[in-house]
């Protein structure tokens, strides 16, 4: 009987409801492509990796969408910010599958900075014009049942903490870095909440802006699943921010030679709340011991022989979640706080 119902649903072009919210970190070699599939089968992709390489990154995204999710379109594409490792792959992706809506923080602030930035911007408009939606912190994505809140955009943040935790003691020793007026600091960030579970993704938000979200008031509270900001580069991820969110599990979308900095590794693994760090790639330049357990790493070698294995989180309605490594089938389960 079940099989018959399933066949009917598939014949009608409808995917059957499932009970987990799934998050895929698709390997785009040090860029970003985070795919979210809600329990109602809504599909949201933040970022599409790099341009070029015979559309390597768009093809990897479509492969996960078709083969793992069973979908041939995206409901929402979110641009975290206008850099090549995030929107470079978008024109290639838009040529392969339909995308309903495009969400961004507004126009690129790097227009006129150089030819590359201008080309990137024009190629974005060519696919997104007429379907754009500019969001502000506090806005929610209009999903059926999933609480998906934008918490950062264009260097502004939600005004009040989602959960009030009082002053953050780690702010005493916080130190600033050089100001960032470019696109990283404009990154769109969002939080998904399911029961006690929270997922936070801040794109490539840079150091001083992350500090603003953590000091003097911790805006985000405790985060169970944290996408390590900016691929684990050291121009993001100040200690006061990590102390504020106290991640339980962190997923780092680094490439073999991009992100995955030793400073970021040391800070995260010294954080008492952290149970596991998962990596999309082993950082090949990092000293031995500055990479997570190989079993929790999706890809071990250099880009030119990379198979593009992904990591997947599946979050149940009670907030419990597990993470799966597609390379070796290793999976671990966690209870939210
Ligand atoms: Zn980036
Ligand atoms: Zn960037």
* Residue-level pLDDT at 293: 96
Ligand 1 centroid to Cα of residue 159, in Å, is 26
* Residue-level pLDDT at 173: 87
pLDDT digits (tens, 9 = 90+) for 270-326: 999 999 999 999 999 776 679 999 999 999 999 999 999 999 999 999 999 999 999
Ligand 2 centroid to Cα of residue 335, in Å, is 32
Bridge partner residues of 37 (DSSP) = 22, 43
Ligand 1 centroid to Cα of residue 43, in Å, is 22
Ligand 1 centroid to Cα of residue 318, in Å, is 32
Ligand 1 centroid to Cα of residue 87, in Å, is 10
Strand order across the beta sheet in which 156-157 lies: 156-157, 147-153, 189-194, 197-201, 225-227, 249-252, 276-281, 297-299
Ligand 2 centroid to Cα of residue 30, in Å, is 11
Mean pLDDT of the chain: 94
* Residue-level pLDDT at 289: 73
Name the closest ligand to CA 233: 1
* Residue-level pLDDT at 203: 98
The CA distance from 324 to 244, in Å, is: 27
The CA distance from 186 to 15, in Å, is: 35
Ligand 1 centroid to Cα of residue 179, in Å, is 17
Name the closest ligand to CA 120: 2
Find the helix or strand (DSSP H, E) in which 241 lies: helix 239-245
pLDDT digits (tens, 9 = 90+) for 201-214: 999 999 999 999 99
Q: What is the band of 183 on the pLDDT scale with cuts at 50, 70, 90?
A: very high
Half-sphere exposure of 89 (CA within 13 A, CB side): 32
Ligand 1 centroid to Cα of residue 177, in Å, is 18
Which residue carries 């579970």 as its tokens?
A: 197
Whether domain 16-332 has CATH 3.60.15.10: the reply is yes
Ligand 2 centroid to Cα of residue 315, in Å, is 28
CB 71 within 8 A of CB 65: yes
Ligand 2 centroid to Cα of residue 67, in Å, is 29
Ligand 2 centroid to Cα of residue 185, in Å, is 8
Name the closest ligand to CA 229: 1
């Amino acid at each position: 009987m079940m099989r018959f119902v399933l066949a009917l649903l598939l014949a009608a072009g409808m995917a059957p409801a499932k009970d987990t919210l799934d998050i895929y970190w698709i390997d785009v070699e040090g860029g970003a492509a985070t795919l979210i599939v809600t329990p109602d089968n809504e599909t949201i992709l933040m970022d599409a990796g790099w341009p070029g390489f015979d559309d390597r990154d768009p093809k990897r995204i479509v492969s996960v969408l078709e083969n793992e999710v069973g979908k041939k379109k995206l409901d929402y594409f979110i641009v975290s910010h206008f850099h090549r490792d995030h929107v470079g792959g978008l024109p290639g992706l838009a040529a392969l599958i339909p995308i309903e809506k495009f969400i961004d923080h507004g126009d690129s602030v790097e227009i006129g900075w150089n030819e590359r930035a201008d080309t990137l911007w024009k190629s974005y408009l060519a696919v997104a014009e007429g379907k754009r939606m500019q969001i502000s912190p506090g806005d929610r994505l209009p999903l059926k049942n999933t609480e998906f809140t934008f918490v950062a955009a264009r260097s502004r943040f939600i005004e009040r903490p989602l959960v009030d935790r009082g002053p953050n003691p780690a702010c005493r020793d916080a130190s600033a870095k050089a100001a960032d007026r470019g696109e990283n600091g404009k990154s769109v960030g969002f939080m998904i909440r399911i029961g006690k579970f929270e997922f936070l993704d801040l794109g490539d938000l840079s150091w001083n802006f992350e500090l603003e979200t953590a000091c003097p008031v911790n805006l985000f509270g405790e985060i169970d699943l944290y996408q390590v900001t900016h691929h684990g580069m050291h121009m993001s991820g100040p200690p006061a921010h990590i102390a504020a969110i106290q991640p339980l599990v962190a997923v780092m979308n680094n490439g073999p030679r991009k992100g995955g900095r030793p400073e970021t590794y040391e800070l995260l693994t010294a954080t008492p709340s952290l149970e596991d760090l998962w990596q999309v790639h082993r950082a090949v330049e990092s000293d031995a011991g500055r990479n997570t357990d190989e079993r929790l790493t999706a890809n071990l070698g250099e880009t030119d022989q990379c198979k593009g294995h992904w990591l997947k989180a599946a979050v149940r309605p009670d907030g419990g979640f597990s993470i799966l490594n597609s390379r070796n089938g290793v999976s671990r389960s966690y209870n939210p706080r």
